Amino acid sequence: MANNLKYAVTMKNAKLDAITSAIGASGLLRIYSGTQPTNPDTALAGNTLLAELALSATFAAGASSGVLTASSITADSSADNTGTATFFTLTTSGGTRKIDGTVGTSGSDLNLNTTSIVSGAQVSVSALTITSGN
């Protein structure tokens, strides 16, 4: 028999709101080069931190219709290193990774205007949404 779980919108919203709780106050969005780890519980290995952007004191307002929309994200005015962005992570203010995702210019979890990041250049993210699947 095939799997075909479907969740009520209230369940989707609760799952998404748990992300905001897990990140806590003033989390970070970090962008890396290298191979994306299996999951956020897997240690980084051979990855280079390219940019670190500050999340708002509260990551997001409550989810609505199965979509979590991040509050404003402060640009990194001076990227840490030069490289090709391949994945990002959302962390607590202390750097504990909670969510990892792909980076690209389209069709990725986080789309940037370019994946080529240059040390000292500004890196900004104008919007970030997370949509709950069934």
Q: Is residue 55 part of a domain?
A: yes
Answer whether residue 1 shows pLDDT above 70: no
What integer pLDDT is reported at residue 119 of this predicted model?
Answer: 98
pTM: 0.93
- Whole-angstrom Cα distance, residue 3 to residue 25? 36
Of the candidates 70, 88, 89, the residue with the CA atom closest to the CA atom of residue 131? 70
> Domain of 43?
9-131
Residue 45 inside a domain? The answer is: yes
The count of structural domains within the chain is 1
- Does 2 fall in a domain? no
Q: Does the residue 1 lie in any domain?
A: no
DSSP labels for 6-28?
---HHHHHHHHHHHHHHH-TT-E
The reply to whether 88 falls in a domain is yes
pLDDT in tens, 33-87: 999 999 999 999 999 999 999 999 999 999 999 999 999 999 999 999 999 999 9
